Structure 1
């Protein structure tokens, strides 16, 4: 059974999402929002933007869920935050994060989930380690560009770059490499024969 959320026959689909029913995909969406909430709590406090595992979780959800369900999952998680649930970095929730220094990054999150998922559907993942790394890195850089632009608007371009982009570049590279390695291991595990 297919749904509009995950098109049938997409290339990299280790969870078999393209063949899952709508109720199963809805359950996966809720699980994804929980994963994002947990990843948000693993953070290094910095001002004005903390370092978290959010972007790693977001790009992985985009790849594993596909661009449609991945972006929808991130939007649902952001909706939970808007309703006041403490699902963002350092337990933040409510509307304040959506107008403050982190607003640009929050805006970027569903976009980068969709980008990572779209590139995965074009076979930029799994056993293609370098392409997978580039897909995640592209998404992370896009997040920094959008987030840094908003921060630059608030506090000035030079400060926005110094506080909202530069400190996160190494982390973007490391998280992209980790994501590519995890997905390569998952792809290899899916292709190994099962011994009975």
Structure 2
């Protein structure tokens, strides 16, 4: 039995999630939240928002899990954080990150997981490296726009851009290129074994 969380059968599905039972998908959700928690701990401290591997992990989960399960996984991870589990950058958890400087980025995370997953479902992934890079970059820039907008509310537009967007642009490009390269390798590895 499959669930409504599966990616479209015509979409990019290297993990074969579309054919997996609901229990397996639930296990993948838990594994995904653990991956997100781990990626959050790999960070470069910056003020007011650290640089982490969160966005790379989020967009990859959106692509690999499909937009539905990917988005649900990100929401579950954010729920763990709200409950106080130390799953966010710097081992943070609780409600404070959801009202502080990082709130806009946290709100953007499920959106960018869905975006990356939907674009992958439409073929923007795998061997289509330029489209794959573009989808991840678009997701990263969307995250920066939402996070920067929240910082602009807190600190003013100039400081919001200077502290919450500009320092992260190079990282967005690098993470997008890494995601595209990883997904190209996944597509090439999976194709021969299924062909």
Question: CA deviation digits over 1:120-171, x for unaligned, max 9?
Answer: 0000000100000000000000000000000000000000000000000000
Query: Which residue does 1:190 correspond to in 2?
Result: 190
Q: Distance in 2 between matches of 1:10 and 1:85?
A: 37
User: What is aligned with 1:127?
Assistant: 127
TM-score (structure 2 length as normaliser): 0.98
Deviation, 1:115, is 0.1
Taking a change above 3 Å as real, the CA distance of residues 193 and 89 of structure 1, as seen in their structure-2 partners, is: closer
Aligned counterpart, 2:104:
104
Give distance in 2, aligned partners of 1:18 and 1:73: 16
Q: How far is the alpha carbon of 1:2 from its aligned partner?
A: 2.4
Q: Closer, same or farther in 2 for the Cα pair 1:8/1:193, shift >3 Å?
A: closer
CA distance in 1, matches of 2:193, 2:117: 26
Unaligned ranges ≥5, structure 1: none
Equivalenced residue count is 194
Aligned-residue offset at 1:193: 5.0
Query: Normalising to structure 1: TM-score of the pair?
Result: 0.97
Moved over 2 A (4+): none
1:28-52 alpha-carbon deviations (Å, 9 max, x no partner): 0000000000000000000000000
CA RMSD of aligned residues (A): 1.0
In structure 1, what is the equivalent of residue 48 of structure 2?
A: 48
Q: Which 10-residue stretch deviates more, 2-11 or 132-141?
A: 2-11
